[in-house]
Amino acid sequence: MITESDLDPALDWRAEIERLRLQKNAVILAHYYQDGPLQDLADFVGDSLDLSRRAAETKADVIVFCGVRFMGEVAKILSPDRLVLVPDLDAGCSLEEACRPEYFKKFRDKHPDHLAVTYINCSADVKALSDIIVTSSNAESIINQLPADQPILFAPDHHLGSFIKRRTGRDNMVLWPGACIIHEQFSEQALKTLKSLHPDAKVAAHPECPEGILLYADYVGSTRGILQYVTESPEQTFIIATEPHIIHQMEKRTPGKTFIPAPGADGSCTCAICPHMAKNTLAKLYLCLVNENPRIEIAEDVRTRAMIPLQRMLEMSTAIPKARHAAG
Ligand code: 13P
C-alpha cells in the first residue's frame, strides 16, 4: 500500500488521477462542499439527491466518492456490485454522530404508529431502520406525498425538520434533536450587521440553518437549489449561509457576481468550513485510486434493508428534475 510519505511532491495529480480513472473505469463524484480542485477533477458535482441518482445509475466499475462517509455508503447501498472508494474513511458527519442506531431504534419503538422519514445525513444502520430517506431538495415534496394524518418521525436534523414542518403545515411530526455543526454556528447578530453593510445583498440559506437565520433568507434550499437561485437571479450580491466551498461553483458559473460567506459568531466565516469534507485532498484521492482503498463495505443484511427507504426516495423524487450540469 502506497502512503502519502511515499509520494513524489512533483507528481502531476491531475494527469495521474485522469490516467487511473480511465485505467480503472472509475467515475469521480464530488459534493459542492469539497475543495475547488477536487470539484474540478470530478466527473459530476452535485447535491445529495443528484449524487445518489448518479451513484444508482453509473456504468463505471469503480465509484470514487469525494464527500463524507455516509455519501459513499449511499453509493454502495444503491450500487453493491461497484467498488466504492473514498479518499478518507474518517470523513464523517455531525448529524450522523448525533443519531446512533441503538438510540434511533428506541425512538422508533416509542412511536410505533409513526413513519420514519430520515434525512440522508445518517449512517447505513439508521437508514436500515427507516421507512423513507429524504434530502434537503426532496423532503418537502416527499412529505407532501404522504397522507395528511400520517404521524411522522423526522431525524436527525431538527432545523431541517422544523423548516419542513412550517412549510408543510404538518403538526404530527416528531423531531430528533440533532443539528449540523456548520449550519448551527451562523450568527443572527453578525448576519444582521453584514446585511446592513450590504443592503442590496440577497441571502441564500440551507435549511439546516436555525430558524433565526432562515428568517433573513430570500431563498432557502439545498446546495443545488442555492446554486440555481444565485445563477438565475438578476441580483449581483449574495450572502451564502451554507458551507462556503459551494462558492467555487458560483464563481465559475456566474463570474462577476459577489458572494459573501455568512458569518459565524466571531464575525468570520472560517468556522463554517466542514472539517469532515476538508479531510479529502488531491493526494488522498490519488492514493485511493492507486491502492483501491479505503473501500466502503456494508454488511449485506444492513445494505438490503437500507436500500428499501433509499429506493423509495428515488421513486418519490421523479417530479424533481435532474441536475443539468456535470462538473465544470
Ligand atoms: P445537499 O447537498 O443535499 O443540500 O446537502 C448538503 C448537506 O449535507 C448539508 O450538510
Q: Return mean pLDDT, the chain.
A: 95
Between 120 and 1, the more confident residue is: 120
Between 318 and 295, the more confident residue is: 295
Q: Which of 29, 33, 94, 220 to mutate to test the pocket of ligand 1 (most atoms within 8 A of CB)?
A: 33
Domain residue extents for the chain: 4-92+277-297, 95-175, 183-272
Architecture of domain 183-272: 3-Layer(aba) Sandwich (3.40)
Burial 157-185 (b: 16+ CB within 10 A, else e): bbbbbbbbbeebebeebebbebbbbbbeb
* Residue 325 confidence (pLDDT): 55
> Does residue 230 contact residue 238 with C-beta atoms inside 8 Å?
yes
CA gap 316, 231 in Å, rounded: 27
- Give the pLDDT confidence of 45-87 residue by residue, as tens digits: 999 999 999 999 999 999 999 999 999 999 999 999 999 999 9
The residue whose CA is least distant from atom 9 of ligand 1 is 208
- Give the pLDDT confidence of 151-183 residue by residue, as tens digits: 999 999 999 999 999 999 999 999 999 999 999
Confidence of residue 196 (pLDDT cuts 50, 70, 90): very high
* Residue 328 confidence (pLDDT): 45
* Residue 314 confidence (pLDDT): 96
Q: Taking phi first (over 0 means left), then psi (-120 to 50 degrees means alpha), and beta for anything else, what does residue 257 get?
A: beta
| Closest to 156 (Cα-Cα) out of 285, 70, 52, 39 | 70
Q: Which three cell numbers stand for residue 25?
A: 473505469
* Residue 45 confidence (pLDDT): 97
* Residue 304 confidence (pLDDT): 98
Query: Which ligand 1 atom minimizes the distance to the CA of 46?
Result: 2
The residue whose CA is least distant from atom 4 of ligand 1 is 222
4-92+277-297 homologous superfamily: NadA-like (3.40.50.10800)
Residue owning grid cell 447535491: 47
> Helices in the chain by DSSP H: which ranges?
13-23, 36-41, 48-57, 69-78, 94-97, 101-110, 124-128, 139-144, 158-168, 181-184, 188-197, 211-214, 223-232, 247-253, 282-291, 300-315
Establish whether residue 222 lines the binding site of ligand 1, counting it when its CB lies within 6 angstroms of any ligand atom.
yes
- Phi, psi for 151 (deg, rounded to 5): -70, 140
Q: Which of 49, 135, 220, 322 to mutate to test the pocket of ligand 1 (most atoms within 8 A of CB)?
A: 135
Question: Do 4-92+277-297 and 95-175 share a fold?
Answer: yes
Establish whether residue 138 lines the binding site of ligand 1, counting it when its CB lies within 6 angstroms of any ligand atom.
no
Establish whether residue 187 lines the binding site of ligand 1, counting it when its CB lies within 6 angstroms of any ligand atom.
no
Mean pLDDT of all residues in 17-21: 97
- For the entire predicted model, the pTM comes to 0.96
Establish whether residue 135 lines the binding site of ligand 1, counting it when its CB lies within 6 angstroms of any ligand atom.
yes
Residues in the chain: 328
The residue whose CA is least distant from atom 3 of ligand 1 is 48
Establish whether residue 121 lines the binding site of ligand 1, counting it when its CB lies within 6 angstroms of any ligand atom.
yes
User: Hey, what CATH class is 95-175 in?
Assistant: alpha beta
* 3-state SS class at 288: helix
Q: What is the DSSP letter of 50?
A: H
Beta bridge partners of 266: none
Q: Which of 121, 160, 183, 229 to mutate to test the pocket of ligand 1 (most atoms within 8 A of CB)?
A: 121
Q: Which of 29, 31, 74, 160 to mutate to test the pocket of ligand 1 (most atoms within 8 A of CB)?
A: 31
CA gap 169, 174 in Å, rounded: 13
